[in-house]
Amino acid sequence: MSKRLIMQIALPVFIESALMMADSIIHVIWVGHLLGGLAVAAIGACFPIILAFAAIAGGAARVATTPILQHFQAKNKEKMQTYVNLSWSFGVCLVVIMTAGGYFSSRSLLALFGTPEAVIGLAGGYLRIMMLGFAVMYLSFLTVSMLRGVGNVVARMLFVAISIVGNLVLVPLFIEGTGPFPKWGLNGVAIAALIVSVIAIIVSLWYIRRRVKGLLTRPTGWQFNGKLMAAFLPAGMPVFMQQLMLALGYACILFFVNPFGSDAIAVFYVTSRIDSIAAMPSIAVMIAISVLTGKTLQAGRFSEIPNLFRRGLIVNLPVVLLISLLCFFAPHFIMELFINDPNIVSIGIGYFRIVSLGYLLFSVLYVCNGIITGVGKSGIITLFSLASLVVVRVPAAAFLTQAGFKVNGVWLAILASFVALAACSLFYYLFGSWKKGWKMTVMESSGMKS
């Protein structure tokens, strides 16, 4: 497998992810420079809750679109209409339940993680507005799932670009109340995000209606069928579990960060955005490796898997190394992109000096995960993620914060979990049970079994 082939698959994935990350980073930059560290901490306190709701929305959208796309591609209009009605009924009920639940429990959910009262006071209104936008969140995932289902990468990038431009313009206007716009402060960030998302959804649906004839079939009535829904619920589980693990990992660490005050919360939120940026090239390569592993196995070229592993590392490592060195040697510059508060910048420097070299482990972790996913063992990756959280990250954070390391103990626990997760994936790639089946198939294909 050539490096060029890996890049051909990974590059579009990376660009799309980078655009989506840019959209979220714009909010942090505007909030940090216009409202300060307490406002950034408020968004950071809300983040795991929003991620958990996004997990539900993303998984539900996948459940809704999978059967519709299958019957659309099979040109079975009757079956497609059945699932459109079912998905519509399911979606409306889900939106009502999640919106009401999220809105009325916002402050309780923030208090559950030990969020400081000063942060709750600012975060409560922001989170309630975001919860009112659950329907928008669900529809966003729905349109993205449809575009992904018909294989239109360019359109998805275009609509993310619309969101970036919209937030770049509207967020500061709604924060400061420039011209005819009201001054809403942090709540303005949530309102601007909802408005921009609605615009992007409308454009997306218009595009799908014009370019993919027959896919946007109108619902003709309410329909509930437990057996039909249960048959497709597993389709949404990978998306749900992936987002849920992110939310759980963030929430567990936030629980230990909260006692150190709003500045530490602000640092954790900003640095978690940088962690995501550092992981993006590796995740793009992981997806490429997964696709190529599947094709390699289908073609019976099993001996090429180790070569695919090496090529993945060669493509991935230089980019991750550059990001890691930049974060280690220029953390002051990175933090000041988001916020100018000297105390927050100082805590952020401590984070990067501890964690940033651990980014190099992403290269090994995600290349291994790409191969593991490609051979159909993705469940083990979720198990490793859960184990690294429960067995390593949480106990290490609890011990180190009480042992005198203070907030740096939390950062050390994050690094320890990176090491544990990479070690588990590498060990499974080298010695896991999947290799037994692979070796046996190699023997059969070469005639050694006979």
- Tell me which residue of 316, 320, 240, 315 sits closest to 274, measured CA to CA: 320
Region 202-218: mean pLDDT is 86
| Mean pLDDT over the full length of the chain | 89
Q: Which pLDDT score, from 0 to 100, does residue 130 have?
A: 95
What confidence score (pLDDT) does residue 2 get? 63
Res 439 pLDDT > 80: no
What SS3 string covers 369-430? HHHHHHCCCHHHHHHHHHHHHHHHHHHHHHHHHHHHHCHHHHHHHHHHHHHHHHHHHHHHHH
Residues with Cβ < 8 Å from 95, sequence gap 6 or more? 134, 135, 138
3-class SS at 94?
helix
Quick check: 350 pLDDT over 80? yes
In angstroms, how far is CA 369 from the centroid of its own chain?
16
Residues 313 and 6: their CA atoms lie apart, in Å, by 11
3-state SS assignment for residue 261: coil
Tokens of 349: 């420097």
DSSP line for 126-153: HHHHHHHTHHHHHHHHHHHHHHHHTT-H
* Phi, psi (rounded to 5 degrees) for 258: -50, -40
**Which residues does 255 contact at the CB level (< 8 Å), separation at least 6?**
113, 114
Dihedral angle computed from the Cα positions of residues 109, 111, 115 and 119, in that order, rounded to the nearest 10 degrees: 90
Q: How confident is the model at residue 444 (pLDDT cuts 50, 70, 90)?
A: very low
Tallying the residues shown for the chain, one arrives at: 450
> Above 70 in pLDDT, residue 346?
yes
Measured between alpha carbons, how far is 148 from 155 in angstroms, rounded to an integer? Answer: 9
What sign for the dihedral angle of Cα 364, 370, 373, 374? negative
Q: What is the pLDDT of residues 215-262, one digit of tens each?
A: 888 888 888 888 887 887 887 787 788 788 888 999 999 999 999 999
Its pTM stands at: 0.89
Higher pLDDT, 241 or 345: 345
**Cα 78 vs. chain centroid, distance in angstroms?**
35
Burial status of residue 250 (CB atoms within 10 A of its CB: 0-12, 13-18, 19 or more): buried
Residues 43-89 pLDDT 10s? 999 999 999 999 999 888 888 888 888 888 888 889 899 989 988 89
In this predicted structure, the answer to whether residue 442 has a pLDDT above a threshold of 50 is no
Q: How far apart are CA 290 and CA 313, in angstroms?
A: 14
Q: CA-based angle 212:215:220, to the nearest 5?
A: 150
Residue 320, CA atoms < 13 Å, CB-side half-sphere? 28
Q: What are the Cα distances from residue 415, in Å, to 43, 115, 140, 345, 407? A: 23, 23, 33, 20, 13
**133: its two tokens:** 């936008």
Q: What is the mean pLDDT of residues 424-434?
A: 89
What per-residue confidence (pLDDT) applies to 440?
47
Per the listing, tokens 């669900």 go with: 138
